[in-house]
A and B are shown apart, each in its own frame.
Chain A
Amino acid sequence: MRLVADSARVIDAATGAVLTGADLSPADLYDAVPPGAVFARTGQTVAAVRRYLGAFAAGRPVALLDPALAPETLAELVRRFEPAVVTGIGEGGAGADPGELPKGYVTGDVLGEAWIRENAPEHQPHPDLGVLLATSGSTGDPKLVRLSRQAIVHNAGAIAEVLGITDGEVAPTSLPLFYSFGMSVLNSHLAAGATVLVIEGGVLAREFWAAFDQYEATSLAGVPYSYEMLSKIRWTPAKHPSLRTLTQAGGKLRDELIEKFSGLSERFYVMWGQTEAGPRMTTLPADKLAAKLGSVGLPLPGGAVSIEDGEVVYRGPNVMMGYAETAADLARGDDEGGVLRTGDIGHVDEDGFLWLKGRTKRFGKIFGVRVNLADIEALVTGAGEGPVAAVSGSECVVVHIEGVDAGRAKEIQSLLAERLKLHRTGFDVRPIDRLPLLSNGKINYRELS
């Protein structure tokens, strides 16, 4: 399965070097590394791109990691997932610190310093596994999303198709490559045989725009924050005549700014995705933007969107295989069957366009303090009780727990008060015989509230 088309090129803005073919995807890069996954500290460098593409070409799963991860977080990831090699030890800008060489690893070289595992890990990753991405950026949650090689290749091709990416396009790396949106810009351009211009620094750096103009970049990808910043500094595409396409994903950009930037550019695409879908799920065609302002558009080719109990459910070949929290999880096959419950609330209009209305993520309020109901449930389960369902009451949270008596309910109430640093009267803990369930086996929260 190929990700990179023959005519694909990567240009190093710092040196002017142009890479193609086996130079760009060096499959022999890991020949001296024991079998297993590659954990890649991934900055905005051509070496990082080659380490990623080399791993993909060699059939090794590769985790793209933020080089700014705290050393203890990286150490925890290595302990949990037992990668065959940690690459890019020297990657990252200010404040990046890889930490100490972990036990069981020796220092080696994979286009720069790497930590190579002395012995092959006990658990070998599943052969379908292609890419691992963190769900929560750099916050240190050790949970990774498992994306199959097929999901990565399919999503790259589908994005290239709907955005009309031709081999003449030149995309700069305006977003981190370890971030699913940044990765998808890279993948979709390589799949289309286009050019990716690797620039460090981001849209506020002088070097970025100097290289952008020098290499006549044709598109710019941004998250809402990017466009907020560009708007604040009164940036306009008019100063960069090669720029034709703007893309936006990663959250809701204000309609006002969508209108402003779409008015200033030839094409403006609003897109929606999640890391769990590798990441792209929908795109709003540029020529439908005015008529459907505020919508996130239509499902990608091969994908489908439906609304189930108000929640947006996506089906497609790009849905993840599942999450991974341990090395053993990397050996797992597909756990999800191509179905992703997105946690977003929305509706589909008569033309098939998806409109998002917010998250299903549930919050309650205790004396004005916002609390995450899922966190409260996790505390109860952590105390050895449950099943549990926490719902919002009036200025309190009602916690329904199966199989507890009144005395134990009081203890749980004290525990929650202590752990969340809120007064105990903010928690109404009620024993319940059986939690009401929906047909899909999930808790029926509506009936409880």
Chain B
Amino acid sequence: MSLNDRLKNVFVEALELGEDVDVENLKYRDIEAWDSLGHMTLVAAIEDEFDVQFETEQVIDMSSFKVAVDMLEKLGANA
């Protein structure tokens, strides 16, 4: 599974997203589910799935799905 798809699954599960949500274009606070509480859940789920640990700045910078993809690629997370 590609990094993109794996991350998509994490988003869907952590934020309990419906099928109609365009995950790849999602931004922080675009939807009710991705609020501060959702963000904490999401960050923890991504860290678990990709076995990484984010720095404070990265947690705060993770403002969209696309940013999260870039970040994981830079961290060398394996697909």
Q: Place the interface of chain B in its size category.
A: 10 to 19
Task: From known contacts A229-B40, A233-B43, infer whether A205 and B29 are also in contact, taking CB-CB under 8 Å.
Answer: yes
Q: Which of A68, A94, A201, A233 contacts B56 (CB 8 A)?
A: A233
A93 to B61, CA, bound (A): 19
Q: Are B31 and A236 in contact (CB under 8 A)?
A: no
Q: Is the interface of B mostly helix, strand, loop or mixed?
A: loop
A233 to B59, CA, bound (A): 7
Chain A nearest CB: distance from B36 CB in Å? 5
A421 CB within 8 Å of chain B: no
Q: Are A94 and B32 in contact (CB under 8 A)?
A: yes
Q: Which of B36, B56, B61 contacts A236 (CB 8 A)?
A: B56
* Across-interface contacts of A232 in B (CB, < 8 A): 40
Q: Are B31 and A204 in contact (CB under 8 A)?
A: no
Chain B nearest CB: distance from A243 CB in Å? 14
Chain B nearest CB: distance from A204 CB in Å? 5
* Across-interface contacts of A103 in B (CB, < 8 A): none
* Across-interface contacts of A209 in B (CB, < 8 A): 60
Q: Are A234 and B40 in contact (CB under 8 A)?
A: no
A419 CB within 8 Å of chain B: no
Q: Are A202 and B60 in contact (CB under 8 A)?
A: no
Q: Are A205 and B60 in contact (CB under 8 A)?
A: yes
Q: Are A204 and B32 in contact (CB under 8 A)?
A: no
* Across-interface contacts of B28 in A (CB, < 8 A): 201, 204-205
- 19 further A-B contacts with Cβ under 8 Å, apart from A202-B36, A204-B40, A234-B56, are A94-B30, A94-B32, A94-B34, A94-B35, A95-B31, A203-B36, A204-B39, A204-B60, A205-B28, A205-B29, A206-B61, A206-B63, A229-B36, A229-B40, A233-B54, A233-B59, A234-B55, A235-B56, A236-B56
- Chain B residues with CB under 8 Å of chain A are 28-32, 34-36, 39-40, 43, 54-56, 59-61, 63
Q: What are some 30 contacts across the A-B interface (CB < 8 A)?
A: A68-B32, A93-B29, A94-B29, A94-B31, A94-B34, A95-B31, A201-B29, A203-B36, A204-B36, A204-B39, A205-B28, A205-B60, A205-B63, A206-B60, A206-B61, A208-B60, A209-B60, A229-B40, A232-B40, A233-B40, A233-B43, A233-B54, A233-B56, A233-B59, A233-B60, A234-B55, A234-B56, A235-B56, A236-B56, A239-B56
- List the 5 closest pairs (A to B, CB-CB), nearest first: A95-B32, A233-B59, A204-B36, A94-B31, A235-B56
